[in-house]
Amino acid sequence: MGSKNKLKRFRENETFPNVIQPERASILNGEFPYKGIWRKEFFKNNNPIVLELGCGKGEYTVHLAKRSPKVNHIGIDIKGARFWRGAKTAIEENMDNVCFIRTQVELIEHCFADDEVDEIWITFPDPQIKYKRTKHRLTHPELLAAYKSVLKPNGLVHLKTDSEFLFGYTLGIVSQIGKIEYAHHNIYNNSDTPEVATAVQTFYENQFLKENKAITYMKFTV
């Protein structure tokens, strides 16, 4: 994407009512406006809240929101030029249960209160295979602890990835600190796969499937 297109999308994001772009410093100073009051002040309802972390273009967030109009869906990613597409689609289709936050996933506890979130989705994240990038894996124990604080008791985390490395890494971590509710290394070749795991497919997931690449999925609590 060219720099002109990025700047255009950044400017357009600023006009979208479903996009929140706080400064990192303001978040760390406790100035995020919706922490603890998302349902009352932003969505104006009492429906469940589901997050997608590292949401990319936001297409998974939007598709989940279409499937569950009585659920509030929030995509989080630091790259606003990417989720511009999801935010714009949600506006064009008059979806009032979709929101995007431009921030780092590591700041999640500053954006949501304890027990405020019902479920979390992590879809096709960078597996961060190099050892020096371990802390950047979205299922690193420190991040899982942050997810636990904002999730309701027994709130589910869903991980869907084409990376067998990340799948195995997460399986090992969660086996020690949480509870695996379901896990399979090839969900499109398994009759017991939960319907929610295959109902929504992103552009990249379809590409992986065309290449006969196995898609893994697990859901767990922490």
Q: With H, G, I as helix, E, B as strand and everything else as coil, classify residue 22.
A: coil
Chain position carrying tokens 């406006």: 33
Q: For 149-182, what is each residue's pLDDT tens digit?
A: 999 999 999 999 999 999 999 999 999 999 999 9
Residue 10, pLDDT above cutoff 90: no
Q: Can you tell me the distance from the alpha carbon of 161 to that of 158, in angstroms, rounded to the nearest whole number?
A: 10
Residue 8, pLDDT above cutoff 70: yes
Q: What share of the chain in percent tops pLDDT 90?
A: 92
Residue 187, pLDDT above cutoff 70: yes
Q: Let me know if 118 is a catalytic residue.
A: no
pLDDT for the residue 1: 59
Q: For 16-66, what is each residue's pLDDT tens digit?
A: 999 999 999 999 999 999 999 999 999 999 999 999 999 999 999 999 999
Would you tell me which CATH number, out of the four given (3.40.50.300, 3.90.76.10, 3.20.20.30, 3.40.50.150), belongs to the domain 3-221?
3.40.50.150
Q: How confident is the model at residue 134 (pLDDT cuts 50, 70, 90)?
A: very high
Q: How confident is the model at residue 74 (pLDDT cuts 50, 70, 90)?
A: very high
Choose, from 96, 126, 162, 192, the residue flagged as catalytic: 126
Residue 120, pLDDT above cutoff 70: yes
Residue 184, pLDDT above cutoff 90: yes
Beta bridge partners of 160: 123, 217
User: Where do the domains of the chain lie?
Assistant: 3-221
Task: Name residues whose C-beta falls within 8 Å of residue 207's C-beta, 6 or more positions apart in sequence.
Answer: none
Which backbone phi and psi does 64 adopt, to 5 degrees?
-60, -40
pLDDT for the residue 2: 64
Structure tokens at 140: 């690193």
Q: What share of the chain in percent tops pLDDT 70?
A: 99
CA atoms within 13 A on the CB side of 195: 1
Q: How confident is the model at residue 203 (pLDDT cuts 50, 70, 90)?
A: confident
Q: How confident is the model at residue 220 (pLDDT cuts 50, 70, 90)?
A: very high
Helix (H) and strand (E) counts in the chain: 9, 8
**Average pLDDT value for residue range 200-216:** 91
